[in-house]
A and B are shown apart, each in its own frame.
Chain A
Amino acid sequence: MRSFSLIFKQFSRSVLLIVGFAFWGFSAAYAQTDAAKGETIFKSKCTACHKVDQIMTGPALGPQLTEETDDKYLTKWIQNNQALIAAGNPKALAIVKKFDGKAMTTFTELSDADVGNVIAYVRADWKQIQDDKAKAPAGGAVAEDKGPSELVVWGLIGIIVIAFIVILVLNKVVGTLERLLLKNKNLVIEDEPVAVDEHGNAVDKNALLKKILKNKKLVFFILLCGTIAMGSWGWVTLWNTNVHQGYQPVQPIKYSHELHAGTMKIDCQYCHTGAYKSKNASIPSLNVCMNCHKVVKTESPEIHKIYDALGYDPKTQKYDSTAAKPIQWVRVHNLPDLAYFNHSQHVKVGGIKCQTCHGPVETMKEVYQYSPLTMKWCIQCHKRTEVNAKGNAYYDSILAAHDKIKKGEKVTAAVLGGIECGKCHY
């Protein structure tokens, strides 16, 4: 069942990817000439105050520019909004009012074509974001991951129910046919005389039970179902012993990856500095938190846990190392000691995204174990993942040597010995 769901996941993922690419290709072709230039200008001139999908100092440009279709007005506004305001353009006055009279920088140096490009880029990007959002519920990794396995379970239950009905019906049919046959042979058997007392019903019920119990096929079928159900439950339980997929312990500080990595878009490496250079991605030391939280959210009780741990007094802004007490996080991802895993090999050399193994961390309020972290899971990936050898001189001679033996074969981690015992167990 597990492998089926995995294959299904893989399949659905690749279908999604193809669809996504196709989409992207289309939109890209459509807006290519403008958008590429527009993106450069956008990034150099606009990002200080604007985001496509979020309100920053200025409005979120995506919806703003999509709603407003008058490109001429937009061009004028972007090039010299002060002139428009002075001229008393109603649209201009409205937006200024909305943002408390904050003025926007003028960009008189931009040509009409430049502004056009920027607008094109923002619209395309916004559309892309909208599309992604629309797609997400249908094929977002999390929702879709649970899907197939549930589907399978319900499918199985359905099959069992249908089978049960079929058997009942068949049973009935067989019974009727038998009776017909007997009738034809004039061997009609009258129904057994039912012991009826004055109250009647209770006796009836017992009789029904007796009748059911006498139906050997039915009993056999029920027993069979029971055995199968218990057997599969037992199998799944044993198979998943010590597999802690979904493990989501309560942490001493309510730290939200959704907020930091998702909303704030802080790069994973900002905190997990080890991922690119060490075997441990490492939990950040508290001084990393303090880079921001010395000034951000200083009133939050959760942040005060950091202060307490550091022996930091926010009023005097002084550290007292004698009062410091390290925070004991609960490890979510526990590989056994007997397996050697190195983050830098995978992240830096392999170029694998954190999310591939850790899941959509940017949506997790509290982190849970996304992958099973079983050896099978490791090996599967090693068998399927092509080695990221591009531009890495280390692999030049290695690939050449492999090419001599097996021409044209996909070079996966496994081909380079990535599933040998001694690669992880020593």
Chain B
Amino acid sequence: MDSNKKYWKGLEELNRTPEFVEKNKNEFAEPIPIEDLLSGSGLSAKTPRRDFLKALGFGVGAVTLAACQKVPVHKSIPYLIKPEEVTPGVANYYSSTYEGQAILVKTREGRPIKVEGNPNDVFAKGGLSAQGQASVLDLYDVNRTQDPKINGADAAWPEVDAFVLRELAAVAAAGKGIRIVTSTIHSPSTLAVIADFVAKYPTAKHINYDAVSYTGIIQANQNSFGKAVLPHYNFDKAEVIVSFGADFLGTWISPEEFTRQYVSNRNGKSLEAKKMSRHIQFETGMSMTGTNADNRYPIKPSEEGIALLSLYNAIAGAGLAGSKKLSNKAVDNAITLAAKELLAAKGKALVVAGSNDVATQTLVNAINSLLGSYGNTIDLNNPSKQYAGNDQDFAGFVSELSNGSVGAVLFLNANPAYDYFKAKEFTDALKKVRLKISFSDHADETALLSNVVAPNHHYLESWGDANAVEGYYTVVQPTINPVYNTRQAEHSLLVWGENPVKDYYTYVRNNWDKGLLAKAGLSGQKGWETLLQTGMIKTAPVAATSYTFSHDLNAVAQTIIDHSNSLVSGDSFELQVYQSVAMGDGKRANNPWLQELPDPVSKVTWDNFAAMSIADIQKLKYEEGDVIKIEANGYTVELPVLAQPGQAQGTISIAVGYGRQSAGPVGNNVGENAFPFYSYRNGTFQTTAIIKSFAKTGRISTLAQTQTHHSYEGRSVIREASFTAYKKNPAAGSGNEGEHKDYNKESLWDDHDRPVYDWVMAIDLNACTGCGACIVACSAENNIPVVGKDEVKRRREMHWIRIDRYYSYNDNGESEKAVTKEDEIAKLTNFDNVSVVHQPMLCQHCDHAPCETVCPVLATVHSSEGLNQMAYNRCIGTRYCANNCPYKVRRFNWFNYWNDSRFDNYLNNEHTQLVLNPDVTTRFRGVMEKCSMCVQRIQAGKLKAKIEKRPLKDGEIQVACQQTCSANAIVFGNRNDKTSEVYKALQSERTYYVLEELNVQPGIGYQVKVRNLNELEA
């Protein structure tokens, strides 16, 4: 029984707009001008016969001459003295650390080509975010600063050192302040270097500044429990999660870790144990976390505080002074129910809020205290050190700059000229500083204002360490010699601080020998080498203890209400500024892999936008893509409108991280900067604002949005069930109940033998959060080109794996009955309450593959291991296969992306090409490509087993998308092995095959999405 619930990817698909219908009928987004050529001047034009013959003759002659070219001589240059550990053709893996998370760096012939999560990492256990995957490309960015600079001119390091030492001495002599501004540093060695520097220059001070700050939480914990720390959250221990605008699966604090924890209570294993957590999200814009919630309620920023107060009142059974009822009935009702559920799950409940407001976070602490979360779902004893930014310190620093008491500033991994909300005030004040040093490896906004640029190494060229959470120490080791004339920032600080140890490697060694190694019972050279191999040490965590909140909340409540009132003024719209999953705070804006990664929710690439609710857009008679001018907090931007289902009415959401002016050619002028919408209130940066005015500009800017590029013509591809239904019948919603149709009875195709291996995949829709890390991992592994905004608009993105995001209506969110009938859909106007399913879609490796049947040259054929293979050199580019593919997963190479000046921002230079995986061919113009199930990894895995003379083990071969998935949503393996994980997963009652009725026998089974809908009401 197939569900007939209606799913849609975009409004144009839902409403079947004429443009959409027309566009979808055609193979190409833009008509190909063949008809013009044939009917117009093309053929009827008087091209004289002689001209034709001339052209023909010249053509043949030219081709013949070109073909006469001698075969080029290939040179082979071996090492002069080969390092012992390098075998050309064999990858080496080195453990290192990406932003506090233990990773493995794959190097080939001495150059890093891929970053993978370390399976022993405490955060994601082998998973890695899209940004982490993309970080390797930054190493090969030709726009990195290649030499140190003094006043904009290239200089040698000794000159820089002499200059800086002289200036620092002068500043110190004048008694003026020295400020080291960094984004959060949790590296013990770097902190020690800075401490040594401060000891040398007593007027120096270290200021932690995070563009996206968590000061609110840290300050609230200080106020509530006397501990100024960022707690370590345990989502895996939470049975009921209520989040107020915290995008904890996408961007909030430690998303990879939270994803792993969160999914562990919702994946197949948990479901089989009849356990599933419940997740309720209250938020303004649709976040990735919101798309995964069981119930999601759109609220305005101004309602957030009031909703939290109501929740507190409901849980505490008290009425805080000044608290009022929410005007939104549905939300009010939901809060009451959420309170009941939270109380029922006392000790296994968790409330989080994304706000950076101290009062709001204090209230959240009070709620969590009442729910007994401390010591269970929240760990204050082993705090997270991922963010330590102090907004107050930075604001103080800016006023110090203005009053001229600072003589020198050093910027390490901080770019306030771009991401500080009062950038103008900051840059003006900075002019008064005598010595400005930037360690940035790009000529970024702040580096351009500095008189000394001392470019830092990329982290893959560096030594170092990290301590992202209490008791977890990881090491950073270089995997390549510095590519450019750069120097590690710590090294520079050691030199300028006239430290007796000048070499940072020695410094790190000493620091570890002093105490860190001993924590894991290691010592000496041997201990250090062990550390380099394992990449980490973990000390036994302190037992998490319970904390009780025992302060008066009335003042807090008053602050919250004041804040909330300040966001409301008549009918004015409210603004929410958020981080997008791909771009984050914009530090990696020059990374084309991230720019081309479709946003998990909006599926927009290469841009930010103003997300508005559909009701508002209809009311205001806007169209998607209309550029509007938005003014708030004295700042104005012009951005295209995006109609976002689930967006709270009366609000606009804008992502930060865009609008960089000096990121590099890839990131410059992509979108608009939203940081200036921030404000500073009660000691922290606020991400919400009241919109003074907004209006259409009349311009239209089409967004490069991939969501409806690959259409199923309305066929049902998603199946879902409620947890209640699942508990009654595990096959609920999967279409497997009752008599199962044997589609294979009448088949056009012969069956293939798959005697030994049958490589298949199982994808759990209930585990996939839609983050898109797999897309970047696949790009890195399989040399997938970046095509740029214009080409994405033409539906020519090359990603082998995409994540389809489907919306569906709930009637009004209060019952689990979903709307199924067409006529009911027509009656609905409420787009606020939609539910979302993410579906990773890649080549299904069908056993009866329709693409294989239509290929005239047999370029795509089936293997005896169940793979649908693509021989690029056979392909002549008819694109019949793509037309015949029901899943629309085949991609056509329109250009030689690595040798075409139109794609300069990616691979079109020899230096960046070093990131390519040498085991995978780069495809040339005019051929089809698609997911190969990482056949190079399959072959390598088999070869390894053969060499070691042992059978292949299950799980030994991991495909790139599976490997990077923190949620373990993808399982790959051999279906013929009845003990394999993938076999077990496919045996699950929840398994269904997309478009099974076509009898193409797909090799990828999906598991039904299960939603834990409101049980109390049912």
Q: Which residues of A contact B (CB under 8 A)?
A: 242, 244, 249, 273-274, 277-280, 282-288, 309-310, 324, 326-331, 334, 337-338, 340, 342, 344-345, 348-349, 391-398, 401-402, 404-405, 416-417, 420-423, 425-426
Residues of chain A within 8 A of B756, CB atoms compared: 397-398, 401-402, 416
Q: Is the CB of A324 within 8 A of B80?
A: yes
A417: nearest residue on chain B (CB-CB)? B864
Q: Is the CB of B863 within 8 A of A422?
A: yes
B75 in the interface (beta carbon within 8 A) = yes
The 3 closest A-B pairs by CB, nearest first: A422-B869, A278-B89, A285-B82
A349: nearest residue on chain B (CB-CB)? B946
In the assembled complex, the Cα of A280 lies from the Cα of B78 at a distance in Å of 11
CB neighbors of A among B914-943 (8 A): 919-921, 932, 935-936, 939, 942-943
Residues of chain A within 8 A of B948, CB atoms compared: 394
Q: Is the CB of B88 within 8 A of A344?
A: no
Q: Given A285-B78, A394-B951, A422-B869, is A244 in contact with B935 using a C-beta cutoff of 8 Å?
A: no
Known: A273-B87, A422-B935. 12 other contacts (CB 8 A): A280-B89, A285-B78, A288-B82, A310-B81, A330-B74, A338-B921, A349-B946, A394-B946, A402-B755, A402-B756, A416-B864, A417-B865
Residues of chain B within 8 A of A349, CB atoms compared: 943, 946-947
In the assembled complex, the Cα of A401 lies from the Cα of B755 at a distance in Å of 6
Q: Is the CB of A278 within 8 A of B90?
A: yes
Q: Is the CB of A393 within 8 A of B949?
A: yes
Smallest beta-carbon distance A255→chain B, Å: 12
In the assembled complex, the Cα of A391 lies from the Cα of B74 at a distance in Å of 39
Q: Is the CB of B80 within 8 A of A309?
A: yes
Q: Is the CB of A278 within 8 A of B87?
A: yes
Residues of chain B within 8 A of A328, CB atoms compared: 75-77
B819 in the interface (beta carbon within 8 A) = no
Q: Is the CB of A287 within 8 A of B871?
A: no
Q: Is the CB of B947 within 8 A of A391?
A: no
Residues of chain A within 8 A of B976, CB atoms compared: 401
Q: Given A249-B73, A394-B945, is A422 in contact with B89 using a C-beta cutoff of 8 Å?
A: no
A401: nearest residue on chain B (CB-CB)? B755
B873 in the interface (beta carbon within 8 A) = yes
In the assembled complex, the Cα of A279 lies from the Cα of B946 at a distance in Å of 14
B869: nearest residue on chain A (CB-CB)? A422
Residues of chain A within 8 A of B90, CB atoms compared: 274, 277-279
Q: Is the CB of B89 within 8 A of A329?
A: no
Which residue of B81, B865, B874, B932 contacts A426 across the interface (Cβ within 8 Å)?
B932
In the assembled complex, the Cα of A329 lies from the Cα of B77 at a distance in Å of 6
Smallest beta-carbon distance B860→chain A, Å: 9
20 contacts between A and B (CB under 8 A): A277-B87, A278-B89, A278-B90, A282-B89, A283-B78, A285-B79, A328-B76, A329-B77, A331-B75, A344-B947, A348-B947, A349-B943, A392-B946, A394-B950, A404-B755, A420-B861, A421-B863, A422-B932, A422-B935, A425-B873
B867 in the interface (beta carbon within 8 A) = yes
B997 in the interface (beta carbon within 8 A) = no
Which residue of A338, A396, A398 contacts B872 across the interface (Cβ within 8 Å)?
A338
B952 in the interface (beta carbon within 8 A) = yes
In the assembled complex, the Cα of A342 lies from the Cα of B90 at a distance in Å of 11
Q: Which residues of B contact A (CB under 8 A)?
A: 71, 73-82, 87-90, 753, 755-756, 861, 863-865, 867, 869-874, 919-921, 932, 935-936, 939, 942-943, 945-952, 976
In the assembled complex, the Cα of A344 lies from the Cα of B90 at a distance in Å of 11
B864: nearest residue on chain A (CB-CB)? A417
Q: Is the CB of B755 within 8 A of A282?
A: no
B874: nearest residue on chain A (CB-CB)? A421
Q: Is the CB of A421 within 8 A of B943?
A: no
Smallest beta-carbon distance A249→chain B, Å: 7
Q: Given A285-B79, A285-B81, A330-B76, is A394 in contact with B952 using a C-beta cutoff of 8 Å?
A: yes
Residues of chain A within 8 A of B952, CB atoms compared: 394
Smallest beta-carbon distance A170→chain B, Å: 43
Q: Is the CB of B89 within 8 A of A345?
A: no
Q: Is the CB of A338 within 8 A of B873?
A: yes
Residues of chain A within 8 A of B873, CB atoms compared: 338, 425
Smallest beta-carbon distance A319→chain B, Å: 8
B919: nearest residue on chain A (CB-CB)? A340
In the assembled complex, the Cα of A423 lies from the Cα of B951 at a distance in Å of 19
Which residue of A244, A288, A327, A421 contacts B861 across the interface (Cβ within 8 Å)?
A421
Q: Given A277-B87, A329-B77, A345-B943, is A426 in contact with B951 using a C-beta cutoff of 8 Å?
A: no
Q: Is the CB of B77 within 8 A of A326?
A: yes
Residues of chain A within 8 A of B74, CB atoms compared: 330-331, 334
Smallest beta-carbon distance B622→chain A, Å: 47
B862: nearest residue on chain A (CB-CB)? A420
Q: Given A348-B947, A405-B753, A425-B871, is A274 in contact with B81 using a C-beta cutoff of 8 Å?
A: no
Residues of chain A within 8 A of B77, CB atoms compared: 326-329
In the assembled complex, the Cα of A351 lies from the Cα of B73 at a distance in Å of 31
Q: Given A326-B78, A420-B861, is A342 in contact with B951 using a C-beta cutoff of 8 Å?
A: no
Residues of chain B within 8 A of A345, CB atoms compared: 943, 946
Q: Given A278-B89, A401-B756, is A330 in contact with B75 using a C-beta cutoff of 8 Å?
A: yes
In the assembled complex, the Cα of A153 lies from the Cα of B976 at a distance in Å of 53
Smallest beta-carbon distance B291→chain A, Å: 34
Residues of chain B within 8 A of A393, CB atoms compared: 949-951
In the assembled complex, the Cα of A340 lies from the Cα of B863 at a distance in Å of 17
Q: Is the CB of B89 within 8 A of A279?
A: yes
Residues of chain B within 8 A of A417, CB atoms compared: 863-865
Q: Is the CB of B88 within 8 A of A284?
A: no
Smallest beta-carbon distance B782→chain A, Å: 9
In this complex, the member of B87, B936, B948 whose beta carbon has the largest number of chain A beta carbons within 10 angstroms is B87
In the assembled complex, the Cα of A401 lies from the Cα of B865 at a distance in Å of 13
Q: Is the CB of B936 within 8 A of A420?
A: no
Q: Is the CB of A327 within 8 A of B78?
A: yes
A288: nearest residue on chain B (CB-CB)? B82
In the assembled complex, the Cα of A394 lies from the Cα of B870 at a distance in Å of 27
Which residue of B71, B88, B920, B950 contacts A274 across the interface (Cβ within 8 Å)?
B88
Q: Is the CB of B81 within 8 A of A287?
A: yes
Q: Is the CB of B951 within 8 A of A396?
A: yes
Residues of chain B within 8 A of A394, CB atoms compared: 942, 945-946, 948-952
A312: nearest residue on chain B (CB-CB)? B80
Smallest beta-carbon distance B687→chain A, Å: 46
Q: Is the CB of B81 within 8 A of A282?
A: no
In the assembled complex, the Cα of A401 lies from the Cα of B977 at a distance in Å of 12
Q: Is the CB of B943 within 8 A of A342?
A: yes
Residues of chain B within 8 A of A397, CB atoms compared: 756, 951
B79: nearest residue on chain A (CB-CB)? A285
Residues of chain A within 8 A of B870, CB atoms compared: 421-422
In the assembled complex, the Cα of A349 lies from the Cα of B935 at a distance in Å of 19
Smallest beta-carbon distance A388→chain B, Å: 10
B945: nearest residue on chain A (CB-CB)? A394
In the assembled complex, the Cα of A190 lies from the Cα of B5 at a distance in Å of 105
In the assembled complex, the Cα of A344 lies from the Cα of B940 at a distance in Å of 11
In the assembled complex, the Cα of A60 lies from the Cα of B905 at a distance in Å of 69
In the assembled complex, the Cα of A394 lies from the Cα of B867 at a distance in Å of 21
Q: Is the CB of B943 within 8 A of A426?
A: no
Smallest beta-carbon distance B738→chain A, Å: 34
Q: Is the CB of A280 within 8 A of B88?
A: yes
In the assembled complex, the Cα of A286 lies from the Cα of B87 at a distance in Å of 15
Smallest beta-carbon distance A306→chain B, Å: 10
Which residue of A278, A310, A338 contacts B88 across the interface (Cβ within 8 Å)?
A278
Residues of chain B within 8 A of A330, CB atoms compared: 73-76
Residues of chain B within 8 A of A421, CB atoms compared: 861, 863, 869-871, 874
Residues of chain B within 8 A of A396, CB atoms compared: 951
In the assembled complex, the Cα of A285 lies from the Cα of B869 at a distance in Å of 37
Residues of chain A within 8 A of B79, CB atoms compared: 285-286, 326
Q: Is the CB of B73 within 8 A of A422?
A: no
Which residue of B80, B861, B919, B942 contacts A326 across the interface (Cβ within 8 Å)?
B80
